[in-house]
Copies of this chain bind each other. A is one copy, B any other.
């Protein structure tokens, strides 16, 4: 598909500076631009790329000042990054969509299938499950018994969803994720052995949830492990049994949340963070990468880091001093000596 600068500016509500008829057919980074590609420049720091790029069209912020001659055509918009994201979306939607239920998938006859579905080859859907309209399930997915999946949801290859879990509408689950495996529950026995406690709860992903690749979300012992509406989880995250993640909370890769912990809404959690079990985190809390959260966080909007986590400011100050510990110790020794000298002198 080929678009002109004019067509794109009209779609974005922007203004063309240069050739209205300049044509592009794909998208690239500004530093890798070629004839026929569209790029964007959001950060004025990189303004110089504008004068050297081979891209045919560049999206820029209205506020940007131009200081040299340009070879490319500009489209000025309020927010170049957001406009570019809209174009990316348009570009992706223009691709042919997968539809149809593959004959070599295995779908139990009791399953309720919505309309306009895609179910890929070698995918298994077990007894009494329900799949909503327009949902796309890629090849090699496993969906256990009594699972419910909403509408417009996208499930990538090799995802495994254990029995009785509920997935909302407009969710995305990336390849290799495991939803609903047994939590880590064992009861100590008299004979020093540990006996597995059956986990009969489930996992609930509400609408607009996104789960990264190879992430694992354990089912509740009883009740539900819940990822609330609009929450986004990155790759390789561990969510234990009976955890709740609040609405619109973002969790970066490789973070782990222990059993029964509740994280508030609109939180931002960095990568490789660990949460102890049975604690509660307030809304809008921001947690630095690799932190260890050993107790609850009560204040809305707190910003914390470290293991155990303290306020970000304290963490930064103390980290600088951690590096200076040998110096501090030396100073203490010097003070000791000086005091010894003083003692002698005052005797």
Give residues in A with beta carbon < 8 Å to B.
Answer: 27-29, 32, 81-82, 85, 88-89, 91-92, 104, 106, 120-122, 124, 138-140, 142, 156-158, 160, 162, 172, 174-176, 178, 181-182, 184, 186-187, 192-198, 200, 208, 210, 212-214, 216, 218, 221-223, 230, 232, 234-236, 238, 240, 248, 250, 252-254, 256, 258, 271-272, 274, 276, 289-290, 292, 306-308, 310, 314, 317-319, 321-326, 328-329, 331-332, 335-336, 338-339, 342-343, 345-346
Q: Which residues of B contact A234 (CB under 8 A)?
A: 184, 238
Cβ-defined contact, B198 with A89, below 8 A: yes
Q: Which residues of B contact A140 (CB under 8 A)?
A: 122, 124, 140, 142, 158, 160
Closest partner residue, chain B, to A321 (CB atom): B325
The contact of A200 among B88, B160, B222, by CB within 8 Å, is B88
Cβ-defined contact, B139 with A195, below 8 A: no
Cβ-defined contact, B176 with A176, below 8 A: yes
Nearest CB in chain B: distance from A151 CB, A = 17
Number of copies: 3
The contact of A223 among B32, B81, B142, B174, by CB within 8 Å, is B32
Cβ-defined contact, A222 with B29, below 8 A: yes
Q: Which residues of B contact A318 (CB under 8 A)?
A: 322-323, 325-326
Q: Which 6 residue pairs are nearest across A and B when measured between Cβ atoms?
A: A321-B325, A142-B157, A178-B213, A160-B175, A88-B198, A181-B213
Q: Which residues of B contact A196 (CB under 8 A)?
A: 89, 172, 210
Nearest CB in chain B: distance from A319 CB, A = 6
Cβ-defined contact, B178 with A176, below 8 A: yes
Closest partner residue, chain B, to A39 (CB atom): B222
Q: Which residues of B contact A258 (CB under 8 A)?
A: 252-253, 271
Closest partner residue, chain B, to A238 (CB atom): B253
Closest partner residue, chain B, to A310 (CB atom): B323
Cβ-defined contact, A124 with B121, below 8 A: yes
- Give Cα distance in the complex from A194 to B210, angstroms: 11
- Give Cα distance in the complex from A346 to B345, angstroms: 7
Cβ-defined contact, B106 with A27, below 8 A: no
Cβ-defined contact, A212 with B198, below 8 A: no
Closest partner residue, chain B, to A120 (CB atom): B124
- Give Cα distance in the complex from A248 to B240, angstroms: 21
Q: Which residues of B contact A212 (CB under 8 A)?
A: 181, 184, 216
Q: Which residues of B contact A27 (CB under 8 A)?
A: 200, 222
Nearest CB in chain B: distance from A341 CB, A = 9
- Give Cα distance in the complex from A198 to B193, angstroms: 37
Cβ-defined contact, B232 with A194, below 8 A: yes
